[in-house]
Structure formats: structure tokens, C-alpha cells
A and B are shown apart, each in its own frame.
Chain A
Amino acid sequence: MPGSRNAIDVRNAVKRYGSFTALQSITLSIRDNEFFTLLGPSGCGKTTLLRMIAGFEEVTEGEIFLFGDEIENLPPHQRPVNTVFQNYALFPHMTIEQNVMFGLEMRGRSKEAARKKAGEMLELVQLAQFSARKPSQLSGGQQQRVALARALAPEPKVLLLDEPLSALDLKLRQAMRSELKSIQRETGITFTFVTHDQEEALTMSDRIAVMSAGRLQQLGEARDIYERPVNRFVADFIGETNLLDARLEAVDASVATCRLANGLTLECDAIGNARPGADVHLSIRPERMTLATANGGPWQGTVKENIFVGTDVQTVVQLQGGIELTVRTQNSAVGVATIFDPGTEVVVDVEAGAARMLED
């Protein structure tokens, strides 16, 4: 992609191990300065793709460009990208400062220049006072920040992060999310982040690529992917949702009418080229429905159970025809929302536009 201003362009990249295909022709672009996330369950190929960009895995087919330069045949030490490894991979026999200086020295910086830059980097991750220590003397969170400083020090064109937060406990993980995000903004370096944690992806990313089974499922901004998933996998993997089988009844302009198995109908945006009569799927987010006292309408059902999850209560309602819906009611100190006891007859009110039609 000569002349491209994208940080990274992956073109038809395929990775095969013998007869097993780990990546099936991936094409995507990562923009300059963005926080880009590869999201997917384990085994989806996201780490393989990251390691192909870093140079640790050979590309079976296809090309990878870094700011327009083709790099897929360069060895890792000749690619101006740096990686934050999952288990940090800090050099145990070197001090923190020596760890951070390593990449700078390898790029031919003088000792003094490398030491000065390493100092700045350790300042950035708030570890300047630990520069003389060994990695084994730091906590997991601190080691994580050293790994970040070490990878940022040589000023890579793109920083690759391979599930860097997965080894940390919850509180630390949440703190590191905002720290990573602010460091990305401060340095202006393109971050490519790999994770299986959808919450992590949603909170930090400018754009997310959702992957599954070696394929790119959807690429877009966090909100876009959450509100407009393209298929059942994305709808189910990002956040929680109710997936219902339905038949497309009619398409009128951009409004589609879908009929559920129990005869109820819902209206949603028409997408793709499904014709009336086609089998489709509907995704309805639990927070986009409310419960009210039964009034005899068609959306009446019985409360099966209430699950308390701290910030809210998830109520499972059984509609006629055996369809179950999970409805989320936010907990509120003033007690606006009513929680119905199991066995109570209620009516489910689906917000207009809440249903999302999925073809696959």
C-alpha cells in the first residue's frame, strides 16, 4: 500500500499450520494514532495476527504494510514495532533501567542517551524510583508498567500489546486501562491491543476488530459494534443479549417486521438483502426492555427468577411459546423500578428500535 497513511495494512493474510488454518484471509487497516483492539475468544487467531505483525510468525499468504512499507518478510529485529508481552518477558538478569535501555542500545543510542530516555520512560509509568531493582523484586502491576516503558522507549511506529492486563487482578486491571489509554494519547503512538475481554475492548478502543474462528467478524467503533452487531457471534460476544429466532414477514422501506416463533411481531431496521419469508435472528439487549404489571397484552409472561448482579437485577421472563427473555432493571436508591417476584405475571415492553435483525 505505498502512499497509505494507515499505520498498518493487512492484506489477505493467511496463516496455516500444516493442514490447520489459523487465519483465513484477513484484511484490515489500523489508522495512525488510534487505539485499535483485536477482540475474540481464545483460539480465534487474534494473537497469531499480532505475532505476524511483530514478525514472530511467518505469513503463509498475503502482505502486511507498516506505513506503506511491506514488512512481512523482515525478521522481527528489523521491524520498527515493539511488543508488550502477555507475561511481560522482562530480562531477569538486568535491572529495570537496563531492561528499558536494551532496545535503545540495540538501535545504536549512546549509553547516556539511552539512560536519559529510559529515565523519562520510567517517569512516564511512575517507576523512576525502582530503576536499580530487578524485575523479580517488583509486583505484577509494576512489571507490567516496566514492560510498557521498555516497549515504548525506542519510540516504535506501532506498539503491539498481547493481552497485557490478563495476569493482573481486577482492580489493577481497571486502573491500568485508563493509564494505558492516557499514555496512548500522550505519546500519540498507534496501539494495537489484543484481548478476549470485551469490557476492556469497549472501554479503551477507538476501533475494535472482532474475530472468531480465524475470521474477521466485524470492525468498527465500540458503540457501533455494541449497537449494530452484524451477526449472532458479535451480538452474543459483546455484552449480553437475547437472541431469538424469527421469520421476516415484510419489508417496508427500511422497516422490517419479524415474527417470533410464538406469533409475536417486532419491528426493526431492515438490513442486508433478506427477503420476506427468510429465517432471521433478533438480538435484544436486556437493558432496552422494561417490565410492568400485567395488562393482558400479547407480551405478557411469568417471572421465572431474579438474578442480583450488584448494579442491576436481571429478571428472566417466560413468554408464551416457551420464549425466555432476560430483562435488566437498574438498581436505584430511590426505588423507582419495581422488582417483580418469581411467579408474578408481567408485561415486557420492548423499546422502539431495540430489536436488531441478524441474518447469520
Chain B
Amino acid sequence: MAGAAAAGGSVRSETYASARNWLLLPSWAVLGIFVLAPVAMMLVYSFLTKEFRGGVIWEFTLSAYDQFFFDRGLFGDEPARIEWTYILIFWRSIWQAGLATLLALLIGFPTAYFIATRPAHTRTVWVFLITIPYWVNLLIRTVSMKFLLRDQGPLNDFLLWTGLIDDPVRIINTNAAVQIGLFYSYLPFMVLPIYASVERYNFALSEAAADLYADKWTTLRRIVVPSVRPGIVAGCILVFVPSLGAFLAPDLLGGAKNFMIGSLIEEQFKGNAGNWPFGAAASMILLTLVLIILVFLARQQARAEREATP
């Protein structure tokens, strides 16, 4: 009897196991088709030889990576020196993306806090308003931003009209324009996760802090921010990562001098002039960089949580 019961039990658990595998299939399919396959393709392409009219020749080579990091002269016969061009583009991109993230955080946190502290029925309206611009294509919005920021554009006209300036300020084709573009493109990705965190925040904690002689600033720094930290980290990742790979804002607003990784990679796949393996290699380097940063952040977060629960 006992044996039969045990056998029955194991049959049932096997049925469950196979059902579970079937039910997981959609998730695996999505991951496989949309994440693993494209990345694997990139990885393979980055080790192939370039075809001059775009596309690849199926011959293994490390030349794409070599070209990224080393300069071997025009004909490739000189001793290898470090090639700074692309590393500098990467460095500038990281710096730009970091600055855009900081800017989005400085504006996004108060915005999210404001929305989360409105009465329940008006919060949805505010969230809706924040997302309205995102119903329009990013390209169109970035072009509109270009129009707004140019020397004879509405922003300069307004500043001239107020008398704050006597001559149009040069904004377009500067780092500032790229910053404004990135900030505008990705602000909701900062606002929404922080909003979700602040909405869950127990405001009795702020009252308790005030009751224990903490002023508003101290309460914000020592109680509110640590409590909504997961939302802040999520927002920063969601702004930093796409900013790092962005090419529309740098291309349209930053001009040739403010070339970023996104534009560099985009060029390699555009028209006949491109170099697919080099673009793929640059993508892989970018991906590795982003993964390193994410792992670092995830570890920080895990350590903070471990400290929180000894």
C-alpha cells in the first residue's frame, strides 16, 4: 500500500513537472527570440570579417576588436598603439549618460514625490500627463526639440524678449543640447519607478521623524530616500542604460563634435559605408560595460539589503 501511494505521488509530481515546463515555454520563447538570439548574432558577427559593401564574410577574425582598441597605421603594418578615438567616444558617452541620469534624478525625484503626494484620484491624471509626450515618436520629438533650441527658435526668442540676453545663446550642437535631449527623452523612466516607490512609502515615518526633532531636509535624507531607494536605483538604470546607447539626441542635437557610442554603432550599419563586425564588436563592448555597471549596482543593493537584515 505504502509503495503504491508513493508511486502515485511521484507520477503526480512528474505530471506537474511536465505541465510546469509547458507553461514556462512562452517565457523561454520570448527570452530566446528577443534576447538570446540577437545577442548571440551580434557576438558571432563581431568575430567575422567585414564585407566592404556592408554585411560579413564568414571568416573568423579578431580585427573588429583590434580596430577598436589599437591603431596599426593606415596600412596596418605599424607597431600597435592604443587607439584613443573610440575609447574617448565611450568615455564621453558614459559621462554624458551619467550627467543625464543625475539631471533626470534631480528633476524626476521631486516630480515623482509631488505626484505621489497628491490625492489618490488626481495621481492618475498626473501620471497620464507625464506620459502624454511619449505617445509621439522619439525621432519627431527630438526634431521638435532641435527646432525649439536653435538660434532663431522659440527658446532664444523668449530669452531675448525677456531681456535676459542680448544675443541668441548657442544651445544647438553643444553638450547642453544633448543633455536636454536625453533628459527629455528618458525623464518618465526616472519618474515612474520613483513614483511607484514613494506611493508605497509610509508617510507616518516622516511624521515620526519630525516628531523626533528631524527637520524636513534631514527627514528626506535619512528616512524618505533610504525607503524609496529601490525606485531610485531602478530609475537611474532605466535612464542611464538607454542614454548610453542613444543616437537620436546626440546626432540631431549635438552635431558632429558630440559623437556618442549610439551614433558610432548606428553608422556601422547604415548604407554601404558601414562595417558590420566593427559595429557588432562596439555593441558587445557596450553591452559588457553596461552589464558590469548593473552587476556592480545589484551587488551594492544586495549588500545594503544584507546590512538591513543581519
Which A residues are within 8 Å of any B CB, using their own CB?
A: 54-56, 75-78, 81-83, 85, 87, 89-93, 95, 102-103, 106-107, 132-134, 136-137, 150-151, 154
Q: A76 touching B210 by the CB < 8 A rule? A: yes
Q: B204 touching A82 by the CB < 8 A rule? A: no
Q: B208 touching A91 by the CB < 8 A rule? A: yes
Within the complex, which residue of B210, B214, B310 is in contact with A133, where a contact is CB–CB below 8 Å?
B310
CA distance A87 to B202 in the complex (A): 10
Q: B214 touching A106 by the CB < 8 A rule? A: yes
Q: B210 touching A85 by the CB < 8 A rule? A: no
Q: Which residue of A lies closest to B309 (CB)?
A: A134
Least CB distance from A103 to B in Å reads 3
Q: B308 touching A85 by the CB < 8 A rule? A: no
CA distance A132 to B309 in the complex (A): 9
Using A89-B204, A91-B205, A92-B227 as known contacts, say yes or no to A82 and B211 having CB atoms under 8 A apart: yes
Q: A93 touching B212 by the CB < 8 A rule? A: no
Using Cβ atoms and an 8 Å threshold, which residues of chain A touch B214? 77, 102, 106
Which B residues are within 8 Å of any A CB, using their own CB?
A: 202, 204-205, 207-215, 218, 222-223, 226-227, 308-310
Using Cβ atoms and an 8 Å threshold, which residues of chain B touch A83? 207-208, 211
CA distance A89 to B212 in the complex (A): 12
Q: A103 touching B310 by the CB < 8 A rule? A: no
Using A77-B213, A77-B215, A106-B218 as known contacts, say yes or no to A93 and B226 having CB atoms under 8 A apart: yes
Using Cβ atoms and an 8 Å threshold, which residues of chain B touch A137? 309
Least CB distance from A169 to B in Å reads 22
Least CB distance from B219 to A in Å reads 8
CA distance A102 to B218 in the complex (A): 11
Least CB distance from A87 to B in Å reads 7
CA distance A83 to B215 in the complex (A): 16
Within the complex, which residue of A85, A95, A106, A134 is in contact with B207, where a contact is CB–CB below 8 Å?
A85
CA distance A151 to B310 in the complex (A): 24
Q: Which residue of B lies closest to A134 (CB)?
A: B309
Least CB distance from B45 to A in Å reads 46
Least CB distance from A133 to B in Å reads 7
Using Cβ atoms and an 8 Å threshold, which residues of chain B touch A54? 211
Q: Which residue of B lies closest to A100 (CB)?
A: B212
Q: B207 touching A103 by the CB < 8 A rule? A: no
CA distance A103 to B218 in the complex (A): 12
Using Cβ atoms and an 8 Å threshold, which residues of chain B touch A93? 226-227, 308
Using Cβ atoms and an 8 Å threshold, which residues of chain A touch B222? 102
CA distance A134 to B212 in the complex (A): 19
Q: B207 touching A89 by the CB < 8 A rule? A: yes
CA distance A137 to B309 in the complex (A): 8
Q: A85 touching B208 by the CB < 8 A rule? A: yes
A-B pair number, CB within 8 angstroms: 67
Q: Which residue of A lies closest to B229 (CB)?
A: A93
Query: A-B pairs with the 9 shortest C-beta distances?
Result: A103-B212, A106-B213, A89-B208, A89-B204, A76-B210, A93-B226, A83-B211, A77-B210, A77-B213
Name 17 extra pairs, CB < 8 A, besides A89-B202, A151-B211. Answer: A56-B207, A56-B210, A75-B210, A82-B211, A85-B204, A85-B207, A89-B208, A91-B209, A92-B308, A93-B227, A102-B222, A103-B213, A107-B213, A133-B310, A134-B308, A150-B212, A154-B212
Least CB distance from B202 to A in Å reads 7
Using A82-B211, A106-B214 as known contacts, say yes or no to A89 and B205 having CB atoms under 8 A apart: yes
CA distance A204 to B214 in the complex (A): 31
Q: B212 touching A106 by the CB < 8 A rule? A: yes
Q: Which residue of B lies closest to A137 (CB)?
A: B309
Using Cβ atoms and an 8 Å threshold, which residues of chain B touch A75? 210
Q: Which residue of A lies closest to B208 (CB)?
A: A89
Least CB distance from A129 to B in Å reads 14
Using Cβ atoms and an 8 Å threshold, which residues of chain A touch B310? 95, 132-134
Least CB distance from A334 to B in Å reads 52
CA distance A105 to B207 in the complex (A): 17
CA distance A132 to B307 in the complex (A): 10
Using Cβ atoms and an 8 Å threshold, which residues of chain A touch B212? 77, 82, 102-103, 106, 150-151, 154
Least CB distance from B205 to A in Å reads 5
Q: B209 touching A102 by the CB < 8 A rule? A: yes
Least CB distance from A190 to B in Å reads 16
Least CB distance from A48 to B in Å reads 14
Q: Which residue of A lies closest to B305 (CB)?
A: A93
Least CB distance from A272 to B in Å reads 42
Using Cβ atoms and an 8 Å threshold, which residues of chain B touch A134? 308-310
Using Cβ atoms and an 8 Å threshold, which residues of chain A touch B215? 77
Using A89-B202, A91-B223, A93-B227 as known contacts, say yes or no to A55 and B308 having CB atoms under 8 A apart: no
Give the one of B208, B308, B310 with max A CB within 10 A: B208
CA distance A1 to B204 in the complex (A): 31
CA distance A92 to B218 in the complex (A): 16
Least CB distance from A105 to B in Å reads 9
Least CB distance from A136 to B in Å reads 7
Q: Which residue of B lies closest to A83 (CB)?
A: B211
Q: List 20 A-B contacts (CB under 8 A).
A: A75-B210, A76-B207, A76-B211, A77-B210, A77-B211, A77-B213, A77-B215, A78-B213, A82-B211, A83-B208, A89-B207, A90-B208, A91-B208, A91-B223, A103-B211, A106-B212, A106-B213, A106-B214, A106-B218, A151-B211
Q: Which residue of B lies closest to A101 (CB)?
A: B212
Least CB distance from A174 to B in Å reads 26
Least CB distance from A146 to B in Å reads 12
Q: B309 touching A136 by the CB < 8 A rule? A: yes
CA distance A78 to B215 in the complex (A): 9
Using Cβ atoms and an 8 Å threshold, which residues of chain B touch A76? 207, 210-211
CA distance A150 to B212 in the complex (A): 9
Using Cβ atoms and an 8 Å threshold, which residues of chain A touch B210? 55-56, 75-77
Using Cβ atoms and an 8 Å threshold, which residues of chain B touch A95? 310
Least CB distance from B198 to A in Å reads 15
Using Cβ atoms and an 8 Å threshold, which residues of chain B touch A102? 209, 212, 214, 222
Give the one of B212, B213, B215, B222 with max A CB within 10 A: B212
